[in-house]
């Protein structure tokens, strides 16, 4: 019986004791580090806390102090004076604030300025060559592809993004390419014609 009891409850040696204590200490240290890391990651910035960022817009780098809650739309219009970017719905529905981000049309109202560091941002102003209109702008002018003109900057930028991705789009591809931009005046027929003309101009056809 005594032999069975020793097998069931082996004597704790000094070696086993030290090993157990060491393992426990390591666990405590690791837990402390994890807790410290978690507290660091959980830090929440105050909405009005100003931070330094750099944005590359229309080929120029701008160094700015911004609040982390500011949208790219707000910074472009109110801090940099790039007012061709229009403020419409401010919830990603109308497309008036469309800009190119790495050649892809995006809604500026749906992006935080702090998220755009390292990206190449192009607004309507960046599509001009000095005082000369870009190809899409020229095509919109030729085909009278606007009425009130409020949505026009976003429309032109969206078309520019489409033609950079697809230089010779079909009618269906054109409709899909501008589907994220709403024209309250209903000038869609002229807009579609302008896209076809812009594609020709970009290909060097007169």
Distance CA 183, CA 175 (A): 13
Q: What is the pLDDT of residues 81-112, one digit of tens each?
A: 999 999 999 999 999 999 999 999 999 999 99
pLDDT reported for residue 130: 87
pTM of the predicted model, to two decimals? 0.77
Buried b (16+ CB within 10 A) or exposed e, 57-70: bbeeeeebebbbeb
Give the chain's mean pLDDT: 87
Q: How distant is the alpha carbon of residue 70 from its chain centre? A: 13
Q: What is the pLDDT of residues 19-59, one digit of tens each?
A: 554 555 445 445 555 555 555 566 676 767 899 999 999 99
pLDDT reported for residue 46: 73
pLDDT reported for residue 48: 75
């Amino acid at each position: 019986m005594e032999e069975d009891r020793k097998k069931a409850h082996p004597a704790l040696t000094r070696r086993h004791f030290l090993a157990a204590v060491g393992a426990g200490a390591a666990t405590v240290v690791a837990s402390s580090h994890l807790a410290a890391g978690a507290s660091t990651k959980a830090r929440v910035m105050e909405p009005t806390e100003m931070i330094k960022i750099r944005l590359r817009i229309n080929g120029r780098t701008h160094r700015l102090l911004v609040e982390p809650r500011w949208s790219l739309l707000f910074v472009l219009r109110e801090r940099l004076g790039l007012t061709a970017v229009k403020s419409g719905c401010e919830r990603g529905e109308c497309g008036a604030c469309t800009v190119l981000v790495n050649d892809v049309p995006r809604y500026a109202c749906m992006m935080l300025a702090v998220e755009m560091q390292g990206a190449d941002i192009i607004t309507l102003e960046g599509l001009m060559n000095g005082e000369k209109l870009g190809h899409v702008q020229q095509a919109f002018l030729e085909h009278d592809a606007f009425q009130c003109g409020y949505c026009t900057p976003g429309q032109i930028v969206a078309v520019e993004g489409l033609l950079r991705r697809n230089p010779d789009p079909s009618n269906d591809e054109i409709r899909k390419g501008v589907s994220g931009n709403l024209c309250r005046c209903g000038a869609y027929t002229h807009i579609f014609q302008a896209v076809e003309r812009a594609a020709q101009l970009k290909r060097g056809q007169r």
